[in-house]
Structures are given as structure tokens and as C-alpha cells.
Structure 1
Amino acid sequence: MSLADRWPLPNHLDLRDELLAAWDRAGYHDLLHLTEVLDRLDQLADAGADVDTTVVLAAWFHDAVYDGGPDDEERSAQWAERVLPPDHATEVARLVRMTAHHRPADDDPAGCALSDADLGILAAPRERYDAYVAGVRADFSHVGDDDFRVGRSAVLSDLAAKPHLFHTSQGRELWEASARANLDRELRELDRR
């Protein structure tokens, strides 16, 4: 199934095409990232997590606006609020805003599923994980090496300090151990630089 065929609102194909064009860029936050997030939502749903149309729409919007700035999620959420049907707009925007910090409440199954699908890249096999890190670096090419190293270390250390990287039981079972190993390896490499 093509990425375009995974769009959940058949009466809004112009919006789908706008989103595909927005995601068609270099760096990590690209069409492959969107595809992988949708794939991981499918994995979570297959394992029993609650994934509905609103969560899928939030995946489509969560990095739709991305230039490495501090308000990318907010601008993506505002786009969703402007263009989505009212029965989805508010919740999609809330979920997109949550991805700025990936700390959904325990009683937020939609937020937990989206957060886990977005962070699932942390559990990727080494070659894909290394390509992800290179893509993130490309996304922040405007930041000097030392500042990037400090910032990346802070983000990874914050994640590593969480009791669980993943909020759903399915995400923990599927990805927690591999993600912890990748985070530990990258943090050690950043410390050596």
C-alpha cells in the first residue's frame, strides 16, 4: 500500500496531497519518517493498542511543519486546527502538541500510542538508527557541532531518565530494550567527542 493510500479521510484528498508535499523534504523528518510512524501505529494496533483515525491523522500532522525551530509542533497543530473537520481538529492538534515532549498522561491512550510510534525509531536496527541520527543532524545543520552535541545529549539524557521510554505496554514489549541499547550507545559516543 502506498503512503497516499494510507490517508484516512477519503473526502479530503487535497489535504492529503498538501501534507505529502510538506513532508517531502530532506533530513530525518521526511516521508520515510511519516511512513515509519504509521507502520509503528499499525504494529501497536496489531498488538492490541487503541489506534483510531484521530491518532492516524495526528501522525500525518505531527511534523508536517518542520524546520528545526522551537515551534514546529505548535505550527503543525495550528495547521490541523485550520483544515481538519471539526470532529477531528481539536484532538489531532492536542496530540500533535504532545509530541513536543512525548510525555502523555497515563490515561491518554491516543497520546501514548502516538508518542510510542514517534519514538519507536529509537529501537531501530543499528544501520537505520545511525541513518536516523545523521538525518537529525542534517535537520539541525544550522547548529554548530558543539552546540548540537550538547543539545542532543540533553535530549537523550532526558529520555533515558524516564522509567520507560514507551507509554503503552505494547510499545515497551516491542521496543524498550532495543531503544535503551541505542540510547546508551549514542550517549557514550557523544561523551567521547
Structure 2
Amino acid sequence: MTPVPRTEDTTDPAPELRQRWADTVTAARGTKNPAAPDPAPYADNLLSRWREPQRRYHTVDHLNAVLLRIDELAEHADDLPTVQLAAWFHDAVYRPDRSENEERSAALAERALPELGIGAARTAEVARLVRLTVTHDPAPDDPDGEVLCDADLAVLAGSPDQYAAYAAAVRAEYAFVPDPDFTAGRTAVLTQLLSLPRLFRTPRGYDLWEHTARRNLSTERDLLRGA
């Protein structure tokens, strides 16, 4: 991962993310290493990825939302800095017309984190968590996976207006897909999610978001079926 030169960006919609990234990297390193690289250029690289023009939902706003939801679920995590790093990387590579986004995002983490002075075990765990977002199906003994997946899916539990905006942004990312094909594919995704015994695996996530998310998913599916 080649850092991009740092420039001041007065239009940054989430300037606090830079400090959050620096704090997370410091915590993940575990010990002070004066020779470790400055985390700031890596934040610039990642944020530039999250701002790519093909994104409509998987944007800096989504990254920030996932990190805030992780804050809400922090007590459930075993290794909070690892979960936070996984959030930064989980959609760092994103092309709507590709199927290997999670794998490429995990590979990016595997390159970048050792450069930043983060140990091999934590790097491997970050990559594992990123790959887990393919299925959002963590094992019962995987609290960090549960936190990341719950935080990523929390958007499903928005208000009706928030959920409508989310659904519209997803459609915009797939604007190149004809309506009949998108409707069929999206309906299949919604049906698969609704078939899960529970969408949210952490106790807090389940209590906060399960009922509303299922209602939103059912409503969207009904609307698509009536289209």
C-alpha cells in the first residue's frame, strides 16, 4: 500500500476520522516504536479509496457509521482495535461489478498493516474479519466477528427515510444493472437475509436493531415484488 501525499482538505465531511485512525493504529501497535511510519498518509490513502466516484453507499459516511456502531458494541469485542481496523479496510477496495472486493480489501490490509508496525497475528485477524463480511455469518465463539458484522448491517435498522435513502444508494451503485436483473438479485439478497435465524449476533445489536431491520427488509422486498 503506497501512501499518498498528505494535503489539507477543508471539505472533508468527517475530519475526526483521521484522529480516530491514528488512535486505532497506536492502540493496535501495542508498544511505542519511534521508527514506525506515520499513520496519517495511510489514512489519506484509505479515505481517498472510500471517496471513489463509483461509490454511492460504500462511502466515507458508511465507514464512519460502521465505526460509530462499533463504539456502541465495544463491550462485546475481545480486541477492539482489531475490529476498528477491519472496519477501515472492509470495503477499502470496492467495485460494484466485481465479486472479489472483500478478498482484495483483506489483501490490502495484509500489505499495509505490517508496514505500519502492526504484528502478524493482529494483521491476520484483521484480514480474517474483512473476509467475514462476505457472508456476515460469524461463528458463535467469534465476538469480534459478531461486532463487525452487526455494525456493518446496522444500516438495515434505520428509520423509513434512512432506509429508503440506503436502498436508493445501493441501486445507484448498481445503475449499470437493468431493472429486471437488479430486482431479481436484490430480492434474492433480501430473502436470504430474512431467512437467517437472527441478523444481529451481539445481544445489544439484536435488542437495538433486529425488529426494525426485519421490518425494513420485508417492506423493501414487498415493494420489489410489486414493481
TM-score range, shorter chain: over 0.9
Is there any run of 5+ residues in structure 1 with no aligned partner, and where?
none
215, 219, 225: which is aligned to 1:181?
Answer: 215
Provide the residue aligned with 1:9 in structure 2. 25
Residue 159 (structure 2) pairs with residue 159 (structure 1): no
Larger deviation, residues 24-33 vs 72-81 = 24-33
Q: CA RMSD in A?
A: 1.2
Q: Secondary structure at the match of 1:84?
A: helix
**In the alignment, which residue of structure 1 is the partner of 2:93?**
65
Q: Please report how far the alpha carbon of residue 88 of structure 1 lies from its aligned counterpart in structure 2 after TM superposition.
A: 2.5
Separation in 1, partners of 2:175, 2:106 = 24
| Unpaired stretches in structure 2, ≥5 consecutive residues | 1-14, 27-37, 115-119
- In the TM superposition, residue 87 of structure 1 has moved relative to its aligned partner by 4.2
Q: Which amino acid aligns with 2:60?
A: L
Offset at 1:126?
Answer: 1.2
Q: Which residue of 1 aligns with 2:131?
A: 97
Q: How many residues align?
A: 191
Residues 10-25 of structure 1 aligned to structure 2 (within 5 Å): 10=26, 11-25=38-52
TM-score by length of 2: 0.81
- The CA distance in 2 between the partners of 1:159 and 1:145, in whole Å, is 21
Runs of 4+, deviation exceeding 3 Å: none
Higher relative contact order (CA 8 A, sep 6+): 1
Partners of 2:45 and 2:159 lie apart in 1 by 31
1:135 to 169, 189, 194: 169
**What percentage of aligned pairs have identical amino acids?**
48
Q: Which amino acid aligns with 1:76?
A: S
The separation in 2 between residues aligned to 1:137 and 1:129, in whole angstroms, is: 12
Distance in 2, matches of 1:63 and 1:53, equals: 17
Name the CA distance, whole Å, in 1 between partners of 2:127 and 2:121: 12
Determine which of 23, 32, 55 is the counterpart of 2:83.
Answer: 55
Letter in 2 for 1:53: P
Q: Distance in 2 between matches of 1:130 and 1:74?
A: 29
Question: Greater Rg, structure 1 or structure 2?
Answer: 2
TM normalised by structure 1 equals 0.95
Letter in 1 for 2:41: D
What amino acid maps onto 2:83 in structure 1? V
